[in-house]
Structure 1
Amino acid sequence: MTEVVRGSVQSAQLTRIEKVLEFIHQHLFLPLSLDDIAQKSCWSRWQLQRVFTAKTGVNVAQYIRELKLSRAAEILLDSPSERVLDIALSVGFNSEISFSRSFKQFFGCSPRDYRKRGIRSGLRQPMTAISLSTSDAGHLNALQANLSFTQIRIEHKAAFRVMGYRGEIGGLFASQPDFQQSVPQIWRTFEAIKQSESLLANMTTMRYGVIDTLSLNSERLDYWAAEAPQTLSSQSLNTLEIPTQQYAVLAHKGPIDGLKNKLEWLFTEWLPQSGYRGIDGFELEIYPANYQMHSVDAYMEYWLPIQ
């Protein structure tokens, strides 16, 4: 009985957060206050902050501010003749000074410099709830609403070069998707080559899984287990040039098995409704060097080329 009650409470909390997110997204142009949102949520201000942060990983005020600034940044690029003041007012700021101060704190440059640079980077998209499969949910009670709140970023990454080992995988949409088995094997081979050539001291703190989608063969894809060391020299590893590209970035925390559901959502639900278009190129998995794929605290990002 205790598990049933706990599951029902959890389900109600998550459903209510979805409604809070919907209210925020529909009224983003207004100067939203915590009181306004709390009234719509039926929680007190303290309860709203506590539950929202616990379930989404970000506090309410920060989430709203980042969405407003991201929307403003897009307007800066899409409407080059529109005044900064008018953009500030359109996203709920009451002055150009307060808007410019917040913009620089978030993006690291002024609104005018961001417009002059002309690159979409650091943009936060509205948060979305994704249903988890039973296996991904693991210990969660079957009666719970197994949701993960996910937020896409839009980033720009300059061209860079990696060195790694190339294998083949059956991708997410192949008739025989074997990537959950073949990717770890490719990484094990990469690590063995590094050990045999004593390359460990030359390697960097970030690792890149690179999926080459330029080939028209949808059944087997080239997958690189790679790093970007300062010195690119190896007898058995090859180098690969990653071009300058704009990406949709999907963050994933937890065991790697849970990534599959999020990728399906990214391709089949988020992308068609996003206003962006996926392009053929090099998709990236970016990991820290000490990544533990089965850890609940593991963190990685999936970078999908878009335009």
Structure 2
Amino acid sequence: MTSEENRIHPEYLHRINKALAFIDQNLDTHLTLESVANIACYSPYHFHRLFKAITRETLNAYIARRSIEKAASILMHKKEVSVSELSLQYGFSSNSSFTRAFKNFYGVPPTEFRKKHVDRHSKIRQTESKNGQENHLFEKYICNIDNLIQWITMNSNIEIKETPELHLASITQIGVNGIEQAFERLIRWATPRGLMNSNEAKMARIFHDSFKVTGPDKVRMTIGLLTNAPFKTAGEIHKATIEKSKCIVGHFEIAPDGFEKAWSGLFIWMNENGYIKAEEHPFEIYQNDFREHPEGKAMVDMYIPIE
């Protein structure tokens, strides 16, 4: 959260977090101010003011953006779902209204967005063109992909494994600014309660949004501490669960500026090896504090749930 949001009472943050989770779970239904405010146990007027103060968006703008982003994610990962189906699923009156809203957001219509995504993440495409430019760009793309695959092969250990259900004490973080402070607040809360003392106490981060479809200032994340110890929620601290799932797991020892490259490489490895991402959210589990590493590196496990 931003410094402005840190001045908001923690109980407000806790209730807005419940509303955010409810919205994301029900984007394919008709969401109203009254129904969402009821989840947060506020009057519509009070909820609307708080929601905008914390998320920096009105409720309607947030729902519209998340609907478009959810549709974009489905376009990328589920080629069998048509644009018409997405238009109906997310409450648009027609294909043309959905296409217009999508293009206003991403600059291209849904069909072109899907085609561009395939070009970025698969080697399987037509390379014929009327001139040499497309072939040249494609060859450059393949070279970049091959280099990234080679990098991830050399810098990680990748396995497929069943991940058990995991429980976390957590804080919701919106946007990349303030992530370190969110971790620090969680640690300050957990330390006097003895939650940092067990062997299972590891920091984690769940990505509810994808940087491929959501701006970095609006990406929603859960900053969490793995624990099976009982605890009482308080203010912005809430309970979160990572469901049991089958995952691609990449084990890395990387500098902080290598996270984007590691995630990109892991998703490319997933596609190249024929796996399909599941509905569950990707997440990270940290095995050390990179500030205590002699080379400033993080030992981190990255998880992609798969079908």
**Fold shared per TM-score above 0.5:** no
- Point out the structure with the larger helix share: 2
Which range, TM-score by smaller chain?
0.3 to 0.5
- Point out the structure with the larger strand share: 1
TM-score norm. by structure 1 comes to: 0.43
Q: Which has the larger radius of gyration?
A: 1
Determine which structure has greater relative contact order: mean sequence separation of CA pairs < 8 Å that are 6+ residues apart, divided by chain length: 2
